[in-house]
Amino acid sequence: MMPPPPHLDAKCNEQDTADLVLAIRAAHEAGELLMRHWQNRDSLRVQIKRAGDFLSRADTEAEACLRDILLTARQEDGWLGEETTAQLAPRRRWIVDPLDGTTNFLRGIAHWAVSVALEVDGIRRIGVVHDPLKGETFAARIGVGGSLNGHQIRVAETSTLGGALFGTGIPFGDMAHIDTHAADIARLMPHCAGVRRMGAASLDLAYVAAGRLDGFWERVLQPWDIAAGLVLLSEAGATVTSLDPRDRPERSGTVLTACPGVFDAFAEILRDQSDRRA
């Protein structure tokens, strides 16, 4: 089990520290299970939920692992996971994606992660995104800070759009907003250093928090896609909102985030079409 980063542990109260340690331990154990499946992924039976959306034993077993660890330790807590039935609770719930980037995983593309978040009284307070293949654990608690393998992280200091690298998630299947998203990319690309579509939103958000990407946007995400990443972003100094500035990512499922130095210019380009269609 990986201990909480020192700069986090010193400032957290006993319950906060215990929750963070628990989330990290659960993510690591699920990650170990996924690594075993990764070595034998060609033998996995795959179910197609819809075009471009897949499910395997790796997903379901990893979620069962997370649920067993987290709810055994916190029996009164609620639950929201991608693959299992939600469980309501009055104050606290865990929000998890056991395998973000399933398509990458099944195709042998080394970009996928376990995402674990804790919500208390409607506020996401703890976020952990664990990448087992690279041995990287991004962790944060609201109001305290974020880390990568125990070292504090901050967003990039990029100040010009021309030097900025962005991430996004391109819609798949029959999603109705494909044309809108294509128009976003067409407007943004002439002004920036590039756009990456890597296929795991939780890791994309963690990469913004760690300064590897300067920003990210995507529409129609689920709570488990973004819950942990939103905590990491806020603690690392990112500006985080929705494409509609009147809304919040937690409600809309739409994320628009960047380091402060480029956020305004980034948002102005992407909101141009969104505002006209609102």
Confidence of residue 12 (pLDDT cuts 50, 70, 90): very low
Domain count, the chain: 2
Residue 50 counted as domain residue? yes
261: CATH: 3.40.190.80
Confidence of residue 26 (pLDDT cuts 50, 70, 90): very high
Query: Interhelix angle for 178-188 vs 260-277, to 10°?
Result: 140
The alpha carbon dihedral of 29, 89, 147, 108 has a sign of positive
Cα 162 from chain centroid? 26
Distance CA 188, CA 193 (A): 10
Pairing of β 92-100 and β 78-81: parallel
Residues 95 and 206 in one domain: no
How much is the pLDDT for 48? Answer: 63
Distance CA 257, CA 166 (A): 10
Residues 50 and 67 in one domain: yes
- Structure confidence by residue, pLDDT tens digits, 27-39: 999 999 999 999 9
Here the tokens at position 111 are 């970009």
Domain that holds residue 180: 161-277
74: CATH: 3.30.540.10
Residues 62 and 81 in one domain: yes
- Structure confidence by residue, pLDDT tens digits, 106-157: 999 999 999 999 999 999 999 999 999 999 999 999 989 999 999 999 999 9
- Structure confidence by residue, pLDDT tens digits, 205-256: 999 999 999 999 999 899 999 999 999 999 999 999 999 999 999 999 999 9
